[in-house]
Structure 1
Amino acid sequence: MSSKLSLFEIELLKTKVFQAARDGRAISIFSMLWNLDRETVVNEVLNHHTSEQGQWTTPLIIAARNGQDKVVLILLSNFNANVEQTGTVKFDGFSIEGATPLWCAAGAGHHNIVKMLIEHGANVNHTTATNSTPLRAACFDGRLDIVKYLIENKADVSIANRYKNTCLMISCYKGHKDVVQFLLDSGAPMDERALCGATALHFSAECGHVDIVKLLVEHAAQIVNNNSGLSPLMVAAECIEVAVVEYLTSAQDCCLQSKIDAYELLGASFANDKEQYDLEKAYLFLHKGMVERYKDPKRVLLKSVLPPVSAYENHVECQTLEELERIQLIPGALHMEGLAVRERILGSDNQEVAHPVIYRGAVFADSGSFDRCIALWLHAMQLRQNVKRSISKDLLRFAQVFSQMVHLGNLPVFESVLEVFERGTVELKNDRERLKNSPDDNENLQEIYEENFHTLLYLLIIATKLKPSVHQITEVCRAVYKLLQQHPKLRNGYTPLHMATASGTIVDDFHVNDVVSFPNGNLCKLLLDCGAEVNARDKLGNTSLHLIVQYIHPINDFENLHTCMMALLKAGAHLDIRNNDGKTASDVATTIVAEAIIRKNNVISLKCIAARSVKQAGVPYKGFIPRALEDFVLMH
């Protein structure tokens, strides 16, 4: 550390140098650093990371990212900045961790800076946290000039990222034909498979880049299936890439069954796609597929149809041209034909099958046909959950449409609400497994877990508004008991009962907030009836009673306040439990109404008095009484 600068001055210098590098003020950087000790002060300043707008970068990294070539030149030539520094930068809204200055320059298309960095010894194959190379970054943006320069300087074209996506794959996906051609000429492996089993040919077919598909085919790319069992042709059909389908089906080595499947899948996808919905084209390609089936009268290829699906109105796929022609002008029948065809060809375990089912359900909901919507969405949810796919969005979608129905006075069927709740309870268990098995994605998975937790409470509140019969109440209690057996909690320690009594519990604002609010007396009673622990404490030591007495709308929502408090007290809530600040529910009550309810019901049991006496007198009790009693004494 230089004796000429104080700690404060060095910290200020770090900020000023970073800002100058970010903004391209090269001369300012030179003047600020030239007379300072290189080994101590300059080194510390240039290796310091600054956090700004979601990025965590050094002066050299931010200069390379922003294309400040003069700054980069000065930092490299005059101050020997470390070219292998890594930081976090943002590209197109995505955070890239472990990015070097070279990766940033290549990704942002700054050829001059790429050249400078390599001339100053930058490792051309230094990867990010996801194993992305500078070459991959340049391929993503289609910068052929940078791609050529990197390869000329020993960039390895075969390095794949953590998902096993190669530089060739990303170039095919983005549609950069000139880059694809150069990579192929440079020996890039063409038939490598990504983690999902897809090849470069799959990626180009998926995005409709027919010119690249032709290029790969001309280079004898292998035709293989991805992990979902789909060839590039079927991927193109599923993604409604007509030009690619027509090109690949015209190939001499395309077998008749593949051609039929592609035409039928293409037509089925047109029938229920949100972005490319077109019934005329749907019928056209379904018809083409049927024609191919009967092209050879001696070798008719009949369908192996699936059993009818109730959600598809038990629609049975057309087996002949005559049957297909009869539904040509019946939109509803074509819609169901399309859904049935997609599920047959793609398979029920393909994650793409559910998307058009959900879209068609949403169309029904928009027209007020809620029963048809719910049937389709339940089927889509079952498809996803059967193959362990997340149903988080499905759960919330149901809560929204159920709330809309309740608000409109068109009450949903109780059994449908219960089924969604039960599937949500299973999903919560699956969420915990995902959290356990994927520690690297803990933050995101925890967020999903808590969102699902909230949604389950929305569904329970909705269920209480449906005037359930005695039998239905028994069924919902059984389902709630299964939820409570999981002991679900938020990060702050909130149990379902805490959430039911907290006014700050989040409510989704798309229809749900029309019928759901917190605190909620009916939900509180239901949870207690099903075995919720009345004296459970959150991470601040608060019980549900601590939360409800702080409700700030005791007059205009007296019923909820009173219902929650009385339900808690009747269930055995201890009035003398102290939170981490040593305060009881009475101590934190914010309204006269809550205080009055506490005073009226202030009955302290003998065991509570005994526990308080033990605590106040400092009597040793740990190890001398049962563990359950130790926890009881500790609460007081």
Structure 2
Amino acid sequence: MNEKLYTLITENDPSNELDIYLKSLPNVKQILETVYQVNNEHISLLMLAALHGHDAVVRTILSHATDMERVVELSGRVSNSNEALILFATALWCACDRRHYTVARTLIEVAKARIDNGPNDSILFDAVMEQRLDTVQFLVENKFIHIDRTRQTNIPYHNSLTISAVLGRTDIVLYLLDKGANIDLINEFDHQTALQYAAFFGNFDVVKLLCTAGASTNVKNLQQDTPLRLAYYKADFEIVDYLFDLTDEKLTFEELELMICLYLPPIKHFIRDQTLVSVLVRLLKRVLQMRKEKKCLKSIGEPIIAYNYQQECQTIEEFDQIQHDYDRVYLEVLLIQERVLTPMRKRSVFSSLSSYGNHLVKRGDFEFCLHLWEHTFYLYQSMGYETSLPCFLWVFCEMIIQRVSIPSELFLRICRLTLEPSQQTKNDSYVKNAVYFVALASQVLEQPNLTKMERQLIMQWVNSICQCQRTTTQEETLLHLCVNKQTYFDISYRPFKIRQVLKFPNLKTIQLLIVSGAHYIDLNAVEKVNGNTALHIVSQNDLDETIPIAEFLIGAGAHIDCLNKRNETPFDCATTLEMKCFLQSQEVPLRLKCICARHLANNQQLNYSFRWPLGTPLNTFIYLHGGIARDTI
């Protein structure tokens, strides 16, 4: 852009010199359709004229445009009235930004400038975003837009009122309502009205304005959420309190209960928020009042230990006795949640129960937490959802760390969850959880106050676990996991706490497994990857308990001369001198059956599996003495 053009456009020369000058230029089309860099802005001649508000200059430029649409819709980078750089600014946007509405009218009426083409969205929506009531007034008063028009733009299916409600533009909402905007017009994208948007985005002044103007408080979106429910989910209890008086007569007590259930924050937030508590108390009382009026008592079950034998309140008088006990009020909502959400298979009930359990552990109420989470486990299972046990491990470890005695009966109740159907699917974490509980059992058995019967019951449970003969996807048995230090590092749920208590390799756990499940523990079982027995694995560790573990395994009947896929014995695998010396001290001249087994395994021409089928004792014996390495070749 040359200096003369710039001067003629910005100074608005009344002698019409610009028209004469443009006629003299051979490349006027190119000049008008070019975006020039001026300082840090990228701007066309028409945009420059619009910024300076010279209507005559704008008309002159338009008269020389051979492709008017292209000239008018050119966009660049322009500083707005607040000196912020705006990308994709058009001449129409420039005129509106500087409040040159005569120029804007010319661009729309003469040049057919597109109102839908703004930097971010339409000129209207951009004006709402920038809180430019004057631009909105210009577009509405001159009927350049339909006040209720919706279209699929960057902001799907919004109209001027809904986008103003979203952004909390109270003055624009007031103006649009005064001009007859449809207050209950529903957005086709998510079926919400301006009031629902205002409630969801927490714009209280807009909510009050819309309600005063007669907006429906009973309308529901696709998820069946009313404005009240949306505000409740967003934890905007000032709006909830305001809307409650306007909507509660139209709500059923079932809807109110569902609303209460679907939003319940963690208890640590609940007990700190006085507004939330007061709103919740009011809602709960309203439910009881509505039930009383309809003579419809709650259908509640017998009190159970999981909820500390508490039951839902049936009357306002009962609720009045607990309303100042925030912990009890929270428990009341948990009870309602289970009654209302469990038949609907809503997962939100579980997050609340988990949150409350964490709260109980924090205050040292371990048994209450364990009973609650045991109940939660069965809820998960009854709905067909995946169940989890590490949270129980954490609670027991916390009890051990804090030197709190673990009740054997409760411990067994939780341990037996490992035998539940939902824990029997092929899942490595489930097998490892069983090992972790056996490791815990070895510590619980050391409690001095246990009776002989309690000890027997714990060992019977361990026997049941062994009887299942579960393995991981790599065919690691419970014994493999007990001797492997990787089992320790696989603790991923609250590892800082649990790893303080559970250590692997673990001699006591191994002893408990073998003593309790002697008939079901195969000391010489091999895992899938390397063909290692438990003795092979423990030989590769350098931790304190490894030699006592190896000694115990050998004493229990583990073969010291078994060969893995690399044709290595435990001695060959040993990584420390101490372990090699120990294993060497345990070696005795090979028994004849071992020598024979190795000979048969090493004879490539002999198909021993044909004579002694897979799974027979002799086949297995040969397999452990070289057959596994032979099969790997």
Q: TM-score, normalised by structure 1?
A: 0.58
How big is the shift at 1:366?
1.8
User: 1:536-591: CA deviations, max 9, x gaps?
Assistant: 224022221111112213xxx3xx33442234324442322222322111111123
Question: Is the CA contact (8 Å cut-off) linking 2:267 and 2:356 kept in structure 1?
Answer: yes
Report whether the alignment pairs 1:410 with 2:426.
no
Aligned to 1:71: none
Question: Is the CA contact (8 Å cut-off) linking 1:402 and 1:412 kept in structure 2?
Answer: yes
Q: Unpaired segments of 5 or more residues in structure 1?
A: 1-110, 114-143, 150-155, 159-165, 193-198, 433-448
User: 1:589-636: CA deviations, max 9, x gaps?
Assistant: 123443344334435444332221123343321552212355533136
Q: RMSD of the alignment, in Å?
A: 5.0
Aligned with 1:599: secondary structure? helix
Report whether the alignment pairs 1:485 with 2:463.
no
How big is the shift at 1:203?
11
Aligned to 1:385: 381
How big is the shift at 1:423?
2.7
How big is the shift at 1:465?
0.7
Seen in structure 2, the aligned counterparts of structure 1 residues 588 and 260 have a Cα distance that, compared at 3 Å, is closer
Distance in 1 between residues matched to 2:481 and 2:194, nearest whole Å: 49
Aligned with 1:594: secondary structure? helix
Report whether the alignment pairs 1:542 with 2:532.
yes
Aligned with residue 551 of structure 1, among 524, 541, 550: 541
Report whether the alignment pairs 1:565 with 2:550.
yes
Name the larger-Rg structure.
2
Report whether the alignment pairs 1:590 with 2:575.
yes
Aligned to 1:461: 439
Question: Is the CA contact (8 Å cut-off) linking 1:546 and 1:585 kept in structure 2?
Answer: yes
Distance in 1 between residues matched to 2:196 and 2:536, nearest whole Å: 58
Distance in 1 between residues matched to 2:270 and 2:293, nearest whole Å: 40
Aligned to 1:496: 478
Aligned to 2:496: 510
The amino acid across from 1:457 in the alignment is: V
Report whether the alignment pairs 1:307 with 2:292.
no
Report whether the alignment pairs 1:419 with 2:413.
yes
Aligned to 2:521: 532
How do residues 318-397 of structure 1 correspond to structure 2 at under 5 angstroms?
318-347=313-342, 349-392=345-388, 395-397=389-391
Distance in 1 between residues matched to 2:306 and 2:346, nearest whole Å: 18
Question: Is the CA contact (8 Å cut-off) linking 1:577 and 1:635 kept in structure 2?
Answer: no
Distance in 1 between residues matched to 2:398 and 2:563, nearest whole Å: 41
Seen in structure 2, the aligned counterparts of structure 1 residues 295 and 600 have a Cα distance that, compared at 3 Å, is closer
Seen in structure 2, the aligned counterparts of structure 1 residues 496 and 317 have a Cα distance that, compared at 3 Å, is same
Seen in structure 2, the aligned counterparts of structure 1 residues 612 and 232 have a Cα distance that, compared at 3 Å, is farther
How do residues 606-625 of structure 1 correspond to structure 2 at under 5 angstroms?
606-621=592-607, 624-625=610-611
Aligned with 2:462: secondary structure? helix
Aligned with 2:479: secondary structure? helix
How many residues in Structure 1 have an aligned counterpart in Structure 2? 449
The amino acid across from 2:499 in the alignment is: N
Report whether the alignment pairs 1:627 with 2:622.
no
Question: Is the CA contact (8 Å cut-off) linking 1:270 and 1:281 kept in structure 2?
Answer: no
Distance in 1 between residues matched to 2:164 and 2:386, nearest whole Å: 30
Aligned with 1:359: secondary structure? helix
The amino acid across from 1:523 in the alignment is: T
The amino acid across from 2:373 in the alignment is: W
How big is the shift at 1:202?
10
Aligned with 2:496: secondary structure? coil
Question: Is the CA contact (8 Å cut-off) linking 1:271 and 1:278 kept in structure 2?
Answer: no
How big is the shift at 1:480?
1.2
Aligned to 1:51: none
Report whether the alignment pairs 1:242 with 2:224.
no
Question: Is the CA contact (8 Å cut-off) linking 2:218 and 2:226 kept in structure 1?
Answer: no
Report whether the alignment pairs 1:576 with 2:561.
yes
Question: Is the CA contact (8 Å cut-off) linking 1:271 and 1:277 kept in structure 2?
Answer: no
Question: Is the CA contact (8 Å cut-off) linking 2:195 and 2:227 kept in structure 1?
Answer: yes
Report whether the alignment pairs 1:223 with 2:220.
yes
How big is the shift at 1:232?
8.0
How big is the shift at 1:412?
1.8
Distance in 1 between residues matched to 2:156 and 2:424, nearest whole Å: 34
Q: TM-score, normalised by structure 2?
A: 0.58
How big is the shift at 1:451?
4.4
Distance in 2 between residues matched to 1:566 and 1:168, nearest whole Å: 75
Distance in 2 between residues matched to 1:605 and 1:167, nearest whole Å: 82
* Identity percentage of aligned residues: 22
